[in-house]
Structure 1
């Protein structure tokens, strides 16, 4: 009987799934202690075939069908099928250090925690000036705010959320399963629910995972537009304003500082200068940051500027569209 059930939602992950599986096979833990559950949203690429090719050699690997396709459904299917008393979520876009499972499962017990996680470092598979700039921006506090699991820690730290958490199975009886209404941000919402009801969440420094980011500006924009939109929609579906932190709204405020004066300028044109000043102030700040990063990391300045702007603007626009959808649907 496995002690740890590791759940990985998948959908069309043929570019990344092998790296993820191999990193799990290299874990420094007795494989009799774990089961690896891939919950697939009926992928149309080679994801399922790749999983079954490993499954033939490693009986602790299992493939579960997820007809609803989205992550919260995948996690809930996995939790219900899990045989272990510890539940760990992983991501197909990620690679995990060999001690990842052993460190988190031990920390969960030692800290008597509700949930524990580790730092998630960002990397890219294909390294070029554009993708390296995107990697840096997604690891930088000016790109992602004060998100501790992205910028790093050096000691056990109390956290408001962690990526790919490790839980005792009874946590889901006590706090509930993943919210199936949330296409995005389901981990944040679950962690906020845990904290709201007296649970404890920790980041531990003794291991980490590596997340493989999108490598083009268009893919970065699309992903963060959805993240920004679901920040707003999450409040609608959960009816809790504390589901998010202040950092999640900074891009929205930036976008509004550009759009609102432009609209007001239709009434009185000089308002347009507020948009210009906001954009210039943003460009000045990001250029200083990009110059510093480019000099230290030997990265391309222009690529950094574009990555910062793409991240912030798409995230903010997503939040704006989410707000518009929220208001219009209520009416």
Structure 2
């Protein structure tokens, strides 16, 4: 029987930890074959004390403290002491099906892939979260990222979270700690680049609790965009063209606004961009909401706008920061 190590980065997750550990304790995979490593990034809530309390109840739970705080550095700390044949990344914002670990092991054994994962299924706690769930399972919201769509199965370029063979990390290295928010995508890009395979299957089921406000969503996707620039800079080429579209959209808006001060020339760029975007926004929002409830139309539209602008601005902020550093040197 394969042994597994669960890698769990934690930062201010006190409200989600009970659900997480309930999910782990209800797994139908033999508990004796599971070790758990939770790394707290100096949380400012009660997360660390909760983890220590769970450690008293769960003998195979190791709790570490990470002064560097970031998820990739926490994951790397966990990998260094993990004992399992397979290493499964877990997220505190996620509830896991009782057969989650068993299905991860089965998929790795059956497919021979280096990393396997499931689709991202979303549980909403309020209307904003419900709108986020709808928008992030739309082509207009997240592009062709396949793990967002539950009808996709097969070899892909990335999956949600992921279960890895131990040797992946000895072969291609650990998570890049400089790419906060894009560490998973970058690791998977390196894996595929070096001949590895990633498999997506509907048998691996989990349920993600999204951010419950537009402000939190903005921060999350700003960080994703910021991190994605680092991935592209590191590897020269984008992992997918979809990662460039929000930045190009925001850049066209900025150019249009700035150039409109010079004899209104920017209006010739700005108006077509805005009109085209609003048209697409209306069509995709209707497409997303008409099957569920049109009362969410406004919120879903705001979520789409938040996703696109925050990601694009994050990407451009990272590029401007890098350019500034280059010019100073």
TM band (smaller chain): over 0.9
Secondary structure in 1 aligned to 2:160? Answer: coil
Following TM superposition, the consecutive aligned residue runs of length 4 or more in structure 1 with deviations greater than 3 angstroms are none
CA change 1:314–1:154 in 2 (3 A) is closer
1:145 is matched with 143
CA RMSD of aligned residues (A): 1.6
1:90 aligns with 2:87: no
Aligned to 1:70: 70
Residues 3-42 of structure 1 mapped to structure 2, 5 A cutoff: 3-42=3-42
Q: Return the offset for 1:243.
A: 5.2
Q: Is the Cα–Cα contact under 8 Å of residues 2 and 86 in structure 2 kept in the other structure?
A: no
Between 1:186-195 and 1:45-54, the stretch displaced more is: 45-54
Q: Distance in 2 between matches of 1:17 and 1:313?
A: 31
Q: Give yes or no for the alignment of 1:212 onto 2:209.
A: yes
Which whole-Å CA distance do the structure 1 matches of 2:199 and 2:236 have between them? 22
Partner of 2:226: 229
C-alpha deviation, 1:291, in angstroms:
2.0
1:323 maps to: 319
Deviation of 1:154 after TM superposition, in Å, equals: 4.7
**1:6 touches 1:89 (CA, 8 Å); kept in 2?**
yes
Shift of 1:292: 2.8
Aligned residues: 326
Distance 1:181 1:225 in 2: 15
Counterpart position of 2:44: 44
2:152–2:200 Cα contact (<8 Å) kept: no
Q: Report the alpha carbon displacement of residue 259 of structure 1 after superposing the two structures with TM.
A: 1.3
Q: In the superposition, relative to structure 1, how do residues 243 and 195 fare at CA in structure 2: closer, same or farther (>3 Å)?
A: farther
| Structure 1 unmatched runs, 5+ | none
Check conservation: 1:97, 1:209, Cα contact below 8 A: yes
1:192 aligns with 2:189: yes
**Matched residue SS, 1:146:** coil
Residue of structure 1 in register with 2:280 after alignment? 285
1:181 maps onto 2:181 in alignment: no
Partners of 1:2 and 1:16 lie apart in 2 by 28
How many angstroms does 1:139 deviate by? Answer: 1.8
Alignment gaps of 5+ in structure 2: none
> By how many angstroms is 1:266 displaced?
2.7
Contact 1:2 1:35 (8 Å CA) reproduced: no
Q: Secondary structure at the match of 1:56?
A: helix
1:67-112 CA-partner distances (Å, limit 9, x unpaired): 2111111111111111111111111111111111101112112211
